[in-house]
Amino acid sequence: MKAFLILEDGNVFSGKSIGSTKDVISEVVFNTSMTGYLEVLTDPSYAGQAVTMTYPLIGNYGITPDMESKKAWPKGYIVRELSRNYSNFRSTGSIQDFLKEQDIPGICGIDTRALTKILREKGTMNGMITTNENYDLDKILPQLKAYKIGDVVSETTCDEKYTLKGDGPKVALMDFGAKDNIAKSLNLRGCQVTVYPSYTTADEIIADNPEGIMLSNGPGDPETNVQIIEEIKKLYQTDIPIFAICLGHQLMALANGGKTYKLKYGHRGGNHPVKDLSNNKVYISSQNHGYAVDADSIDASIAKEAFINVNDKTNEGLSYIDKNIFTVQFHPEACPGPQDSSYLFDRFMDMMKGGK
């Protein structure tokens, strides 16, 4: 069956339908990872978006036990070529069947290189995936321009708190759309991790006496999370060590008077170089975000820049002055991606033991 990707600038790509055949409008982004398509599909940070994979062949190892959450989150999926056969000793099915089961429409057989160049030159834009060959461009384009992702944090957070048992420090993980490997990375280091829904109050978390607090990744515009930011302000006032990733990093900055802004086309993939300003070493990182913290908006008496992106010099992390708090924009838990920066979890462990 034919399928069409219609962008809000009027560009139309024609290809073949994969997955669900329903029409969908979403923000269209691209990911440069060469492997890990299942982890990408199950990353809650993609809620409200259609993901374009720049690597040309997707699906060759099928569906494996590598999901980062219980379901897939993108509203659409865009690939150059979908593998007709899959081969892996752990595979349980094909990506085609997975997309159908998850009710995610997609398109294959289009020039993803040309699409990515458009998004890089013009910036991230909205688009529609449709199987309707009689689409009306004049009616669709205003709909595309009007689309907004909305409150996706409340859609992706857990329904109730739960605990991963451990005999080490007690960590409270605020779930704003967390990838599973954040909790697993802490749990593997012995932590007892209690995961809290995004709407949990600071008072409830403090009352549970955690030895550390983790603020997770998540989807959408950070500035829309007004109530969550208010609760983070209260957590900041405590002496509890805090480590924040991605959206959590942005929310902590906003809670302390900083500002965020939308990047032209975002950072999504497993090959982004970041420099740790404490040792001037460069690490290859996994990233998935469309917004960034404006480092110039941060009061120097509150926090200092800890990491920068080597490619575009955008902020990649902050270290808070006289506080056991540090935050990063990238994903030290990876999945998919390199494990270069996993040492940051060890730094958090040291903070909970009394170090800085």
Phi and psi at residue 116, in whole multiples of 5°?
-65, -40
Q: Binding-site residues for L-glutamine, please?
A: 45, 218, 220, 247, 250, 288, 290-291
| pLDDT for 336 beyond 90 | no
Q: Tell me how far apart the alpha carbons of residues 5 and 17 are, in angstroms, rounded to a whole number.
A: 10
| pLDDT for 209 beyond 70 | yes
When pLDDT is cut at 50, 70 and 90, the band that residue 318 belongs to is: very high
Taken as a whole, the chain contains a residue count of 356
| pLDDT for 334 beyond 90 | no
**Helix 180-187 / helix 343-352 crossing angle, nearest 10 deg:** 60
Q: Binding-site residues, please?
A: 45, 218, 220, 247, 250, 288, 290-291
From 249, 272, 289, 331, the catalytic residue: 331
From 8, 108, 231, 246, the catalytic residue: 246
Q: What's residue 82's pLDDT?
A: 95
pLDDT in tens, 43-54: 999 999 999 999
pLDDT in tens, 174-197: 999 999 999 999 999 999 999 999
Q: What string of H, E and C letters represents the secondary structure of 163-180?
A: EECCCCCEEEEEECCCCH
Which residues are 285's β-sheet partners?
272
Q: Tell me how far apart the alpha carbons of residues 130 and 1 are, in angstroms, rounded to a whole number.
A: 11
**Regarding beta strands 170-175 and 162-164, do their DSSP bridges make them parallel or antiparallel, or are they unpaired?**
unpaired
- Assigned token pair, 209: 């006496």
- What average pLDDT does the segment 28-41 reach? 96
From 39, 68, 231, 333, the catalytic residue: 333
Q: What's residue 158's pLDDT?
A: 97
**Helix 247-255 / helix 226-236 crossing angle, nearest 10 deg:** 70
* Residue percentage of the chain with pLDDT more than 70: 99
Active-site residue 333, yes or no? yes
| pLDDT for 274 beyond 60 | yes
Q: Which residues neighbour 294 within 8 Å (Cβ) at sequence distance 6 or greater? A: 258, 259, 260, 261, 315
- Domains of the chain (ranges plus CATH)? 2-146 (3.50.30.20), 153-352 (3.40.50.880)
When pLDDT is cut at 50, 70 and 90, the band that residue 354 belongs to is: confident
pTM here is: 0.96
